[in-house]
A and B are shown apart, each in its own frame.
Chain A
Amino acid sequence: MAKINIATAPANSAVLPFYGTAALFFILLSILLLWRSPLLTNGYFDFHLLALVHLAVLGWLTMIIFGAGYQLLPVICERELHSETLAVISYLLLSAGIILLSSGFWVTPDLKGVFPLWGIIGGGLVFISSLLFVCNVILTTRICTSFNIQKAFILTSSIWLSATCLAGFLLAWNLRYPYISKSHLQLLKLHAHMGLAGWFLQLIIGVSAKLIPMFLLGKSNKTRLLISAYLFINIGIILFLVDGIFRSVASRAVIYLALVLTGIIFWTFYLRDVYNNRIKRPIDVTLRFSGLSFVNLCLTLLLLVLILVWRPAGQLQILYGTLAILGWISALALGMTFKTLPFIVWNGHYKHLNGKGRIPLPKELYLQWLVRLQWWFYIAALYGLLGGVLLQLETLIQIALIFLIATSISYGINVLYILQHKTSFIHATPTITPNA
């Protein structure tokens, strides 16, 4: 029999602040979106839109991914997190960086188009935070000594995150002190897709390849599918970037997208194999969010193909960004929070009490009825928003954004409810009740 060690989860202080802060940024984002809702029908480059996009991808999504990532790295790498201190520092830098960077974008129009110095500093802090995340990932995965494809995805995605942050920092510098001769908008597209396909997509694939079999109690031995996905996606992104930096990607972007799409198809086949070999348990509402996220990813890709082939005006690009950020990645974050956070908090409160008496289950640490309500708020918000953006209906967008605020507040209440949990324990007297 082979003996294994069980890595202990990191301290709650290295993980929980990310969840709480992400929820706050999500609420702030939804309120600001309603306040500046005309941005979603304008369809052009705007500093307020940049502020909101960075608040969404860094403050809401990257923040929550960092928290979940520090918790899940020991599970994926089968060893303890290298440094909890680095995790805490990365949280402080990321939080400060996001506030400075987003507020920098927000006030730029008031400063007659001059991007403030504190915005650049904010970008720098986000970049340093991403480097700390990469360091923790590299030192925890120790990928050189024991390789697996899930680790490769996580590590590669974190490197892409740092590359994206560095590119963003250089672009922010260029806003204040112009030094790049190439079109800023063209480079912004490269920066955005480095983040979407390099960071978010690969992180999601890596984590899902480990967690979905865990949650569904399914399995797949078809690791080759994941390796193929890894190769196709990374080759696609690298070619896209090299071409974009040295030439112009416009005509060949479809080829690079086809490579990334092929990678996604391989990943889908892997997930299908896991799904087919699972315990056929009912799918709860938290996993329904993951399913919806996948549907939204497919719609996002379809829209991207349309944009590349058809080359329409800016409105479809706003739709594309909305679908990717608020549809694909946000749906996943909204559901996965309740597959991770209650377990983290439960471990902190009940690990040592387990077996001593009656204790609540992790799923009893959050308001399940509120998650079900959050699901309907979110459906109304997302599809109302997409319809409003597509048809340029300002009223529909505003109604949808009210639903988005309802989604973010119900989500925030539940996160707070979990974080505020008080230990509840009823001591049991020993009784043997075998049901054999």
Chain B
Amino acid sequence: MQLQQSLQMHDPFFEQKALVIGALYDVIDPELFVNIVDLGLVYDIDFLPDNKILITMTLSTPHCPLGEAIQTGVKNRLLQEFADHQIDIEIVWEPAWSLEKISEEGRKMLGMPPRN
């Protein structure tokens, strides 16, 4: 399921999470030139006590040389919108990222055929 589709209206942090997703559209994978939301790299967003935001995400390749840069991009971009928050990122490996996680928009940007 795409990240934005998993966002529920009754979620108490609905507005903030929508703002996070919007900001993450600005963070791109420098090799693929596609944002990390459409690539399906972001798995979850949590607003935790003590003004913490936890982003659970993965990378397209284990130990991707640009992995650190992508994480920094997430932190920098979110701090522009949530300056009073602490941004934590958890990189996970399961479920493994696959081409299936790319959104229709992402597929278009990568020149892939649309899903049937």
Contact = CB atoms under 8 A, between A and B. Distances in A.
B92 A355 contact: no
Interface residues of A, number: 42
A2 B93 contact: yes
A280 B114 CA distance: 12
Interface string A330-351: 0000000000000110110011
A361 B28 CA distance: 10
Contacts of A7: 63
A425 to B, nearest CB: 12
Contacts of A8: 68
A365 B19 CA distance: 32
Contact of B94 (A2, A217, A353, A435): A2
Between A1, A8, A75, A344, the greatest number of chain B beta carbons within 10 A of the residue's beta carbon is seen for A1
A178 interface: no
Between A4, A75, A361, the greatest number of chain B beta carbons within 10 A of the residue's beta carbon is seen for A4
A39 interface: no
Given A74-B63, A279-B99, A356-B80, A432 B92 contact: no
B101 to A, nearest CB: 12
Contacts of B43: 1
Nearest to A77: B63
Interface string A217-246: 100000000000000000000000000000
Nearest to B61: A214
Nearest to A352: B72
A353 B65 CA distance: 16
Given A1-B94, A3-B90, A353-B76, A217 B60 contact: yes
A interface, over-half SS: loop
A352 B21 CA distance: 21
A278 to B, nearest CB: 9
B92 A6 contact: no
B76 A356 contact: yes
Given A4-B91, A434-B25, A9 B33 contact: no
A282 interface: yes
Contact of B26 (A2, A346, A351, A433): A433
B26 A355 contact: yes
Interface in A280-315: 280-282
Given A354-B76, A355-B77, A347 B69 contact: yes
Contacts of B113: 280
A1 B27 contact: no
Contacts of A5: 91
Contacts of A72: 65
Contact of A6 (B22, B56, B68, B111): B68
Contacts of A3: 90-93
B41 interface: no
Contact of A362 (B27, B30, B74, B77): B30
Chain B interface category by residue count = 35 or more
A6 B67 contact: yes
A6 B110 contact: no
Contacts of B95: 1
Nearest to B113: A280
B74 to A, nearest CB: 7
A78 interface: yes
Interface in B21-40: 21-23, 25-27, 30-33, 37
A354 B27 contact: yes
A436 B75 contact: no
A259 B33 CA distance: 42
A361 B33 contact: yes
A74 B99 CA distance: 24
A347 B37 CA distance: 21
B80 A279 contact: no
Given A432-B23, A436-B21, A355 B63 contact: no
A350 B63 contact: no
A428 B21 CA distance: 18
Contacts of A352: 72, 76
Nearest to B92: A1
Contact of B62 (A1, A78, A354): A78
Interface string A124-152: 00000000000000000000000000000
B88 interface: no
A74 B80 CA distance: 31
B22 A355 contact: no
29 contacts: A2-B93, A3-B93, A4-B91, A4-B93, A6-B63, A6-B64, A6-B67, A8-B68, A9-B68, A71-B65, A77-B63, A78-B62, A214-B64, A343-B31, A347-B69, A351-B68, A354-B30, A354-B69, A354-B72, A354-B73, A355-B77, A356-B76, A361-B30, A428-B80, A432-B19, A432-B23, A432-B81, A435-B105, A436-B4
Given A346-B69, A362-B30, 8 more contacts: A74-B63, A75-B65, A281-B110, A351-B69, A355-B27, A355-B73, A355-B77, A428-B80
| Complex A-B, nearest 6 residue pairs according to Cβ-Cβ distance, in ascending order | A355-B76, A354-B73, A355-B73, A355-B77, A434-B22, A432-B22
